[in-house]
Amino acid sequence: MKNDSALSRRTFIKTAGIGAVFPTVLTPVFPQLPTALDVPDLEKIKALLATKDPNIWLFTGDSITHGAKHTHGSRSYPEIFAERLRWELKRVRDLVINTGISGNATRNILSDFDWRISQFKPAVVSLMIGTNDCARKEITTAVFEQNLTDIVLKIRALGAVPILHTPNPIILEKAPERSTLPDYVPVIRNVSNAQAVILVDNYQHWQATTDTNVNREWLNDPLHPGARGHQEIARLLFRTLSIFDAQEPTCGGPYYEGEH
């Protein structure tokens, strides 16, 4: 006669589908908790922000993420994010790394993935890309979709949370070599949907803004955001991640507090 504990163990093994041979290490089973695949990425972000352990947040992409030249010395959106995270949210031990490189496309991210992303062991990887892809004839929308999907899968393989951005709109008539950018934006949305990735839809936000002259106020040239444009990208990211607070300076609240 077999004891109850043996029967319970056998029942558990059959139910779990583990089989007769155990692997060297078994992941503990907690039926009351969802598995990692069941946790939406926004919930993972929320958990990262709640933990006391420090995390690495990595931004990569092209010149827009790089923040090259067109900010006129003001902060780029990854730098604004760092201010929100490390000062306003008091996560002072978190690290924000920016590996964006001007002129890059998806193929550059893939070929340089280990240096640009893997080595840092990030918890979160934010990617804005596409403004250069659309100017490369060899990177069709189909190739772009495959490249973007491969990047997302490689990020997930690191155990990191991916975040995708659509780029900001550009002045098409002044950048004819990038006239197909509107064809690449839906690809980013499609990959986001297919891979259940957080999407920061800058393109939609900028197009939907009617109370300001976006081209004049938010762009510094036909392609690149200026200081105000980077603020808008950062604030949309904050809203998407549910960390926007209108009273805080990075979100538009007052910076000035001195008495002279």
| Window from 132-146, 176-190, 242-256 with minimum mean pLDDT | 242-256
| Window from 97-101, 112-116, 212-216 with minimum mean pLDDT | 212-216
pLDDT digits (tens, 9 = 90+) for 173-225: 999 999 999 999 999 999 999 999 999 999 999 999 999 999 999 999 999 99
* 152 pLDDT higher than 70: yes
Confidence of residue 259 (pLDDT cuts 50, 70, 90): confident
pLDDT number for residue 19: 34
- In this prediction the pTM is 0.84
CATH superfamily, domain at 35-244: SGNH hydrolase (3.40.50.1110)
Please identify which residue in the block is written with the tokens 């949210």: 89
Q: Where are the domains of the chain?
A: 35-244
Rounded mean pLDDT, 138-156: 98
pLDDT number for residue 11: 37
pLDDT digits (tens, 9 = 90+) for 40-81: 999 999 999 999 999 999 999 999 999 999 998 899 999 999
Confidence of residue 97 (pLDDT cuts 50, 70, 90): very high
Confidence of residue 256 (pLDDT cuts 50, 70, 90): confident
* 18 pLDDT higher than 60: no
pLDDT number for residue 38: 58
